[in-house]
Amino acid sequence: MADIDRRRLLLAGAGGALGAFGALSLASPARARSLWTWSPAGSVAGTGAGVDPEWVWDEEVDAVVANLIDRGQVPLVNDLLRDWVRNDQPLPAGLPGELRAWMEEARKLPTWANTTKLQAAVDFTKKKGLYTGALYGLGSGLLSTAIPREARAVYYSKGGADMKDRVAKTAQLGYDVGDVYAYKPQGGMIATTVRTRLVHAAVRHLLPQSPGWSQTSGGQSIPISQADMMVTWHSLPTYVMSRLKQWRVPISAAESEGFLHVWQVTAHMLGIKDEYIPATWADANAQSAQVLDPIVAHTPEGAALTDALLGIIAEVDAGLTEPLINAFSRYIVGDRVGDLIGLDREPLLQPIVSGAWPLVVAFREALIPFPGVPSIAWVLEEALRKFVLLFMAEGRPIHLEIPDANRPL
């Protein structure tokens, strides 16, 4: 792991409480998990077997992709799927039969998908896009680096060799969900989610062969279980909605329900079983409290991912606003997560940001007049706008390809 910079290595092994925690995480990587107690009665299915999702994966596609890898057909499939990007596109000719059959089924929306609610989600993103953009990129993006299993799965997989590209792909999902055409025929979310399932299946097949992952997996034999996927899911919509409420952003009942619904549909399309997908925000918060909140921790792999994300931020203006983004990131994720992932402290800017951002929100929502907003607030908003545009309009090509190997040692 030579690409983790010296400052973060020192952070991981330094004295004090954080250093001790980092050393403990290296020595004992297993995460503490309570027994699964969340009831399927709170799911979109309303019923289910109640099986712990820790021991459930995505069996059908896992078998299909394992066969592709073993037969050496991954390069062919990646080439065929490169231009399959729209929801209404037919699958390309030449795909292996079992893969084509699976994809035709996987691309179908759930019967409970509601077009009115999906449109409400689009309307919500149009109005609140600055907030959700910042929260996906700086909030969820950084929080994911404090999720040990996710950080390690990303780091040791093939995509971990290009951290910037891998982080960009992760962040992109949040913006694609809010696209005007997301699940409409001319949109791309169906293609994105189906290809993501193929990537996940490949990682599940390959990572157990990685010495680096096996030595840090804490006894997990197969990565990306349904439990792991729900942890990641909560780091996106559940986390974002909680922050929007903390910021007192006005959200109508229809907007709130629409935002939840587009993520429920996305969970289903990513292969999560309906009995694990929360039916309401109350159900989501209850599940998140069990599966996400207790497990955030420092890992060297997470620190490397943090460096990659901060490197993307520095590209906005050659690092001129990076201290401001650092301060805002700590404001979003909190000092606990900020310390775990090695975010720099900005003692001068942090109190300014925590005081200015509520004023930005209040002004944007017409709760206070322009003269009541200090100039620092507009500097902060412009920095965030540039950060959001970096992902939404910079034109970086994002290609989801099935890996056929792990991260090179």
Rounded distance, CA 271 to CA 106, Å? 8
Query: Is the sign of the CA dihedral 353, 392, 121, 47 positive or negative?
Result: negative
Is 188:169 a contact under the CB 8 Å cutoff?
Answer: no
* CB-neighbour burial class of residue 91 (10 A; exposed 0-12, middle 13-18, buried 19+): middle
Other CB atoms within 10 A of residue 34 CB: 8
Closest Cα to residue 305, out of 199, 133, 170?
170
| Predicted local distance difference test score (pLDDT) of residue 5 | 36
Range in 18-22, 166-170, 308-312 the model is least confident about: 18-22
pLDDT surpassing 70 at residue 4: no
pTM for the model? 0.86
Q: Mean pLDDT over all residues of the chain? A: 83
User: 214-226 pLDDT, tens per residue?
Assistant: 999 888 999 999 9
| Predicted local distance difference test score (pLDDT) of residue 398 | 63
User: 35-76 pLDDT, tens per residue?
Assistant: 788 999 999 999 999 899 999 999 999 999 999 999 999 999
